Every structure is written in structure tokens, then in C-alpha cells.
Amino acid sequence: MNLGTHFIAIVGVGLIVAFVADASHAKSPNPSIDPATNETVAQPLSVRMADGSSKEVPDFQRHITPLLGRLGCNGRACHGSFQGRGDFQLSLFGYDFRADHAALLDPDTGRVDTDDVGESLILAKPTDADMHEGGKRLDVGSWQYHTLRNWIAAGASFETQTIDALDRLEIQPSEIQFQNESQSVSLTAIAHWADGTREDVTDLCRFTTNDDAIADIDEHGLVSSGETGDTHVVIAYDRAVVPIPVIRRVAIQESIPSPEPSDHPIDQLIQVKLDKLGITPSNLCDDSDFIRRASLDITGTLPAAADVRAFLADTRPDKRERLVDELLDSPGYAAWWATRLADWTGNSDVQLNNALPVRGSASRLWYEWLRVRLEDNLPYDQIVEGIVMADNREEDESYLQYCKTMTDACRPGNESQFAERSGMPLYWARRNFQKPEERAIGFAYSFLGIRIECAQCHKHPFDQWSKDDFDQFAKLFKSIEARPNTVARDSREQRDQLISKITGQEKLRNGDLRRKIYKAAQQGETVPFPELVYNTAAYQAQKKRAKARAKKNQKAAPISIPEGLILGQSDSVALDRDPRGDLMAWLRQDDNPYFAKAIVNRVWANYFGIGIINPTDDMNLANAPSNAELLDELAKRFIDSGYDLKWLSREITTSDAYQRSMDSNASNRHDDHNFARHVPRRLPAEVIHDAVLLATQSSEEADRMRGEMQQMAIANGVTQNRNNRSFALQVFGQSERESNCDCDRSDSPSLLQSIYLRNDFEMYRQLGSKDGWVTQTMKSLGLESGDAGVDPQIQRRAELFQRQTIAKLKRFQRMTPKQRRTNRDRIREEYGRVQDKLERYGFASPGLAALLDDPDAWELERIESDKDNAPETSMDQVVDDAYLRTLSRYPDDGERETSLQFIAESKSPQSGLESLMWALVNTKEFIITH
């Protein structure tokens, strides 16, 4: 069961109350000493309020709100729902303290009666199952009852102007290691408040587990061991969410030899975790698996058979490192990673439909802008800066120059002109990216790897973000305008002139105007382009009014500068100017908790099929990394490298962890997220599409495709247009890019995928293509495509000529002697043409006289030639090549023998080879990593 399911299940139980002493509250009479720090820690509220004799006044934020959660009052199924329950609504999860306090103290409801405390409904109803629709929630005389009563009796106060700040929530122990399934550990939670008070809040926390099969946890924080493996239990109190790792060692009887230790930093950090788990990593994969794995992961392309042969024959000890460098410098690297970045940033034809006045160009420009920078290995932070800080016009570029350059760049084949520009403002121009809330959510997906849309309505259940945090963050994007008709103030006159020239001063609007502009662009005319503008009109108007009043010697109202907040930051950002510079500066801070980690985690997931945090765009506090030290160290070193993406790929792929075999042992057989073995996974949609092409096309055609990339799906899709995606890409789950969410891509297997590979016409067309590998191979063996019915189409043509000739011969036999003499020359001439065709196809033809005696005895026979006696080793090499170009390995002896026998027993060598290739492409080994 995942964390979300656990959370919903436990919301009805809620939070346990806590007490923290401050100047306005009575001190705890029984403080304890924390042995770890020797500091005073207040005892749990459940102890202090147990007998009802305490005179303490609980705090609304620290005690009453959590208690209502504990009782289930502010859960989704009760008063925390959006419509409330029984005319009583609380904020979901209880984090809008002011609104909840006001709802409780509504004088017309009787929920809180400070004059007659016992009659307060929040005491009376939860103690009476008949009165309360939600059933009995507490007993009279319980510590919960005393807590609510003491608060009401003291006046039910809440300092609405001040929200207490929780510095941190300390959990003891900070990690749990179990040895067997009968063990249990009680957690202790200590709240550290900004005012210096500390309290044991174990009874006040919300407890969940990310995997109850490995570690179960009850409402009091008692963790019980389950199956072997590792997970996290999550403790929440106030705004703190703290994950605690729980490990139960794998216990095996057999002795497993350990691979040679590695001094690679990645391997050392992974080994620390594996040692705790008692897991022995698998050995390294063989060279065949490595070249295939690295080629597909780094460049998205299947390695050529010739490259595999050369790599397997290479005896240099550093050949794997050399291969990685070659792949990083290949065209496929920039193409594939530009497609991945296009996914994460939301490059969508549908959403960019009207972003530019030249239809269908925006997505191509976006992709090429990214591809060129990846090819040049521009630092990642500079790539992001070009997106976040994008302006349409270059420095000192006039609006007319900008429009002319863009008109030229939008013509197919001229995308490189756009790639030369410093910024990529199309990111801000999507139709689903115009509202501030949409931009806040999309920005967090793209560059922070977090999902904050929950906080748009209520406190994020698994993270620190409140609705106010979301609203303040969204304000940063409110004044950015990037619509199809938006231009800077100083550009409007020039835009109007261009439109007037295009329309002949005819007044056109909306669709009619767009069509006119599209047509003008197609004819080479310069057309007006939109601009990204930061609009401070409201603030400027406020200043203008203040100046006008000052001139009249009137008292002007103070000018209020609008402000927003970057997530997790306390310093506000003034919005009288473009705030994107502040956002970019924050992203680049070394202590930014998201920016570097987000891209490191996504790149890691590309190479391992799973992120160190998974899902890769959900880096919330409760979704802890499987190896936090590894992610922290890799992100730090990535920053130290200057945000070098090639360094990051090289660092990952040269580690032993990446090069592990998929062969498992008894200790790591069931582990899929600690990187002790290679976990096979299905190839991405674009990679599968291209792999089929590269495997079935001729070597020359495949090499051309690898070099030019235009026909490759990894280069932003086959057609460069996501509106007309190929059927294969849809079947295999290509990202739809409806949003920036990684969930837009699917790697799940389906029956339709198997049907496509087995039966789709496209597959058969590739296998029998005149530019295909089978046709090329037949020529290399000296067997032309017409030889011995090698080509089924030629076989059918020969059989057709045969049937037609036999029919004519039979008619000739039925003629009278006079008619035969008249038609003899014509029959000889027609039969001669048939003989020429059949011989060209490689078939023998019997003499005309023999056929005239018995036309039905004619059987098509191959012409014997030296070509038909090609050495058996030649066909051996062909079988080897078939395996090398599909599975990147040589066949074993059994596979080779079976393949040769099948080809020999086939209708023709070509038919046999086509079937062999079909079978190899349909193996699991072809469609998954290994």
C-alpha cells in the first residue's frame, strides 16, 4: 500500500495533541531531560492531562487543532471536506488556524461556550454516539477531554496575528534496523520551537508507512518489522514531515561471493546501504550487454552490428570508458536528451497551436534550441536560464528585425537560426500555461521536480506547503504575458504596420487574420510575432495616481508594492519588476533543495529505470530518497562540475552500479531500488520505434539515419509533429506532453504492443523493404532478389506468368492444324518473352515442344549457379549479423544451429531471413534492457 492510501486511511484518526510551554502558558510540572542533548523537554500532553488536575491552558495551534485532527474532525470525510458537515467546516488537515478558530467560536453555533463549558458542542457531541453523526470520538475524563475543556475554560483564545514557528521535528531513533520479523521499536518525537521550547510530541504526531509489508506503524509510533527490505515511516507534526528509514536485513543461508570492491564514489555510497541490508551486488555485465545498454540509454539508439563486433574484439582495459565518451559525442546523445528535456519542459504542439504566426513551427524550434545546447554541452543552469529568463528580442534588436529573423527561422529546415538565439520564450507561451497557478505548477514540475498542485486548495498532505505558500508563489508569475497578440508597448505601431501591409488595410480579426498571416509567412513575407512582456501596469497606474494627487497637494494613499514568495523562502520578492531574475538566482543557490537534485534524479532514472526518488517529479518530504547520501553527494558534485550534463552521464555510466548484470543472487533477487543488480525494463516508445528501423534497414541506411537523425523518433518524434504521432509511438506510450508531469509518458507493457510487433503491416513492410537488411544480405550472398523465388512478390509474378503461358498453350493445342500454323510464330514470340522474364527471375523454362506435349507437367525450377552454392560459413555470418544488429550479441551454438536449419527449410533464403528477423524483434530480449 502506498503512502497516499495510508494517509487517507489515517486522516480519520488524525493528530495527537501536544503542549509546548511559552510565556503565556503554565510550564510543564514534570519536564524530562533529553539524554542526547541534556536539555529540558516537556512531557507528552497525554501524561500531563491524564487525571484532569492540570491547570495548563493548551495552545490552539499546538494542541487544539491537532486534537481535532486526532479525533477525525478535520478529515476529508468529515468537517474537513470542501462542503463541511452539519454546517461546520474546518480546513482540510487543519492548517488554516485563523479560519478554524473563527468557525469554532461562531457565537450562533454553540460549538464553544466559555460561560457553560460542559455544554460546548465540541465536548458534548463527540462523547455521545447517539448525538454525533460521526459516532463517539472520546470519553469524558480522557486526556483529550481535559485538553479541550481547559482551553475553553480559559477563554478559547488564539493569537491570530502570530503563527508559531516550528524549527524542526527531531525523531529518535533517526534510523531503524531490524534483524527479524518479531522486533518492534517505539519512536520518540521532539518538537523544537523557534521560541526555544522543546517537547516530547510522540503522542501528537501523525504516523504513516510507505510500505506496511516491511514496516508497520501504529498511531502511537510503534514500528513493527515485517518482510526483509527497506522503506520509510513518516512522522508529521505541525508543518514538519520527517521520514525515518527502516531496514530489515536479508537473511540467507548460502554464501555469496562478493564482486571486486569499487573505488567509484557512486559505488561506495551504494555499498554502505547494501551492507545495512545484507545484500551482495551482482557481478558486472558482459561486454555485449554493456554496449547495448549504454547505447540505448545514452543515445536512444541501437548499436550497429559492426560497432558491436569491434567492441567485443577490443582488448583495451578502458574500452568501456572510451565507448561512453564516443556515445556522449555522437548525434544521438543531443537528440535523445533534447527529447527528454522537451518532455520535462512541456514542448507540445497542441499547447503551442497559436503561439507563433507560422503554424506547426513552435515545437520544432523548441526542440532544436535544446538540441544545439546539449550538443555544445552548455551547462544545465545556463540552459534553464535561457528558458526562465527568456526574452524574444536579442540585445539591440528592433521589433522589425526580430519579426524578419523569426519569419525566416520558422521555415522548415531553418530551425538552427532560432537555436542561435539566447532565449527560448516559447516555454511561457503555451495555452495551458497562461494562468499564474498553471505556471506555478508547471515551473515546479520542470525545474524543481515537485508536485505542488495539492497546495492550490489545501495544505499538502505529504509536504510543508500550505495554500498560502502556493498563492504567494503563484503571484510571481501573475504579470508575465506571452499570448499570441502580446507585444511590448514600443512595438505596437510596427506590428500594426506589418498587419496593415499583409491585409491591405482590410479590417480582419481572429481566425481570418490568422489565416492571412499564415499565408503571408508561407509566401516569404515578414509577419508580426508576439513578445513575452512583464506587465507592471497596475503598479505603474498606482504610482501615476499618487503623483497626480501630489501635484494637487492632496494626500496620496501609500503605494503598495505587490509581493510574492519563492517556495520555502522568507524574503519576499517585489513585483514592481520582473521576478524571474530572483527565481533564477534561487535556483542557482548551492543550498537549493530541489534544482540540482531534480535533474540528477531524472538523469539517474533514465539509466536505471527508477529514480533515487521515485516518481522523479514528486520530491516531497514524505517521498524520501532510497539513498539520501547518494543523491546529496551526486547533486553536490554536479554543481561543482559546473552543471555539466555530460559529466553527470559519464559519472553514472562508468560506475559498477550501472554496469551490474541482470543476473540476481539470493540476496538481491527481490530488491529493485537499491541498485545491486540491473533491473530489466521496457525501452521507451521512441527508442523501440527506432530500434525496429535500425535492425531491419540496410547497414548503409541505418548508418545514414544515425548520422542525420531526421527520421529518428528520438529526435522529437518521427514527424516532428505531435498532432500526427505514429501509431507505434502511441502504442508504446510516447509522452503526450499535456503537462510537465513525468506521468505523461508510459512505460507499461500492453497486449497491443505485442500485437504491433507481431502483426502490424509496418513491421512486415520494414522486413521486406528494398532498402532493408534482408535484401542487402541476399545481394552480399550473391543471391539477387529474384533468385529461386527469394522474393515472394517475384515468386508470385513467376507463377502468374506460368499460369498465363499454360493457358495459352492449351488453347494452342485445341486449335486446328491450320490455326496452329497461323499462330505458331506468335506463340514462339510470346513464350520467348516469358522465358526471358523467368530466367531474369532465376527460373528454368522447359522447351516449347515439351510444353506443347504436356503443359500441365511444367514446374518452376531454380536455375543452378555458383550463387546457389555459397559457402555455409557465409550464412553463419548472416545469422551472427542478425543477432548482433538486434540483440547486440552473437548467437550461442544452439541458436545458430536452429537458425541455420530454419533458413534451410524455409521456402527461400530470403523468406527464412525475414522470419528470423521477425522472431528476433519479437523477443523480450529485444524490447527490454539487459
pLDDT tens-digit map of 380-432: 999 999 999 999 999 999 999 999 999 999 999 899 999 999 999 999 999 88
Instruction: Find the Cα–Cα–Cα–Cα dihedral 148, 151, 156, 157, rounded to 10°.
Output: -130
Helix (H) or strand (E) run with residue 894 in it: helix 893-905
Give yes or no for a contact between 302 and 695, defined as CB atoms under 8 angstroms apart.
Answer: yes
Q: What string of H, E and C letters represents the secondary structure of 123-179?
A: HHCCCCCCCCCCCCCCCCCCHHHHHHHHHHHCCCCCCCCCCCCEEEEEEECCCEEEC
Rounded to 10 deg, the angle between the 362-375 and 380-388 helix axes is: 150
Q: Distance between CA 622 and CA 460 in Å, rounded?
A: 11
C-alpha cell recorded at residue 578: 520582473
What's the one-letter identity of residue 385?
E
pLDDT in the model for residue 544 = 67
Local confidence band at 3 (pLDDT 50, 70, 90 cut-offs): very low
Indicate the pTM of the whole model: 0.82
Q: CA separation (Å) from 18 to 364, 459, 486?
A: 57, 20, 54
Express each pLDDT in 707-730 by its tens digit: 888 888 899 765 444 445 577 777
pLDDT in the model for residue 18 = 30
Q: Distance between CA 84 and CA 654 in Å, rounded?
A: 56
pLDDT in the model for residue 136 = 81
Give yes or no for a contact between 57 and 25, defined as CB atoms under 8 angstroms apart.
Answer: yes
Is 25's pLDDT higher than 60?
no
pLDDT in the model for residue 557 = 61
pLDDT in the model for residue 841 = 57
Is 513's pLDDT higher than 90?
no
Local confidence band at 16 (pLDDT 50, 70, 90 cut-offs): very low
Domain 1-249, second-level architecture: Sandwich (2.60)
Provide the residue ranges of all domains of the chain, joining segments of one domain with +: 1-249, 351-368+392-586, 787-867
Q: Residues for the chain: how many in total?
A: 930
What's the one-letter identity of residue 752?
L
3-class DSSP state of 199: strand
Peptide bond into 792 cis (omega under 30): no
Q: Between β-strands 188-193 and 198-200, what pairing exists: parallel, antiparallel or unpaired?
A: antiparallel
Express each pLDDT in 311-333 by its tens digit: 999 999 999 999 999 999 999 99
Q: What string of H, E and C letters represents the secondary structure of 606-660?
A: HHHCCCCCCCCCCCCCCCCCCCHHHHHHHHHHHHHCCCCHHHHHHHHHCCCCCCE
Instruction: Find the Cα–Cα–Cα–Cα dihedral 914, 919, 925, 926, rounded to 10°.
Output: 40
